Structure formats: structure tokens, C-alpha cells
Amino acid sequence: MKTKLIFSFLLGLSLLSKAQHFDVGFGLGTGASYIFENRDQSIDITYSAPFSSYASLKYTPQNSYFDLKLNFQYANSGIQGENWKTRKAIDGEVSSMTTSLMLEHLTGNQRWNFGYNFGFGYTTENYIENLEFRSQSEFRKYMSVTLSGVLAVNVSEKLSIQLIPVLFWSDPANSFRTSNHWYIAGEDLSFLAQIGFVYRLK
């Protein structure tokens, strides 16, 4: 799936006309992981504030409303409490890597720009229930959905600083199944607030 996303992005580039711009970006942030599970008073689960980082490639075709963006998103959060399925104690972490193909639109002037992006991704997640016994980790793969706002300040002709609030929906397909099929650190919404830099290559 990840290979297909990257191939689709590269194929899209080859089919489009000459680019107006080609940008690379990177940044980091924090936020709130697995919001609904973390706030559920009927279970004993607590997530720490996550560490997140990202890298992106953005292609701007001529006369197009949307830019095409390939985004790589990493997130890691600690988890403590009790497994609501097995009743075992939890003292571990959850880390994920998501590759997303996104559409982005920005408007504004030469100094300030704002907009949004959205897209689908392929996520690999590593759930470790107890850090003392890493061999008990659980590896998962699923589709994800990302919706972000973008506030950008142009520092120079080629460099800009961006503030990006992100709403991340992990495994939306499994979210519509019964709770017997749900996972700890699985189907849920997470929020990330990230700051980063974008450099214009062309």
C-alpha cells in the first residue's frame, strides 16, 4: 500500500504539466493521542502527550486549485493503565508512521498564507503493552485519514514557517465495526499541533 501511494504520487507528477513550484518541508510538534479512549471514564487508560515529526514533498502544477503533497508523519506516545480486554497492566508506548497522499490549497498575500489539506494514508503502528517486555509488541497496518489547517509566514522568497494543526483518524474502516473488534490505541482521533519549515526548490 505504501509503495502504491508513492507510485501514485510520482505518476501524478509525470502526467502534469510543468510545475510552478516544488517544495520540501519538515517539522515537529505534540498534541493529544487517541482522544476518545483517553477521555473514556469507564476504562483505565492514559496516554502521554505525543512527540510528532513530519517530512513532506509538495508539487504545485500550473493553473491548479490544489497542490499535490506526499507527507510522512511519525508519532509516539506513552500509554499506562489497564488493558480493558485482558485486564493486564499497561506501561508501554505506541508509535506510528503514516505515508499520506494529500491535496493542499493555500491563499493569501506575499507575506501571509493560510489554507488546508486533506488526504488518505497508509499507517504502520507498533503497540508495546509493556516496555520491559518488548517482544510482546503488536504490529498493525491500516488506512488513515488526515485533515489539517495551514498558516504560513514567508520569511524569504524560498523559505517559510508553517503552523499546522492536524486531525488524524486512525483506522476509520474498523471504527464502524462493533466494539469487540476494536483495539487499544486503535480506531480513534488524535490531534497534533506542529510547526515546521518549507523550502522552495523551484
> Which tens digits make up the pLDDT trace of 133-159?
776 788 999 999 999 999 999 999 899
β-strand 159-170 against 138-154: which pairing, if any?
A: antiparallel
- Residue 13 in this model has a pLDDT that exceeds 60: no
Residue range 2-200, CATH number? 2.40.160.20
HEC readout, the chain: CHHHHHHHHHHHHHHCCCEEEEEEEEEEEEEECCHHHHHCCCCCEEECCCEEEEEEEEEEECCCCCEEEEEEEEEEEEEEEECCCCCCEEEEEEEEEEEEEEEEEEEECCCEEEEEEEEEEEEEEEEECECCCHHHCEEEEEEEEEEEEEEEEECCCCEEEEEEEEEEEECHHHHCCCHHHCCCCCCEEEEEEEEEEEEECC
Domain ranges of the chain: 2-200
| pLDDT tens digits, 55-74 | 999 988 878 899 999 999 99
The whole model's pTM is what? Answer: 0.87
Q: pLDDT, tens digit, for every residue of 102-126?
A: 999 999 777 899 999 999 999 999 9
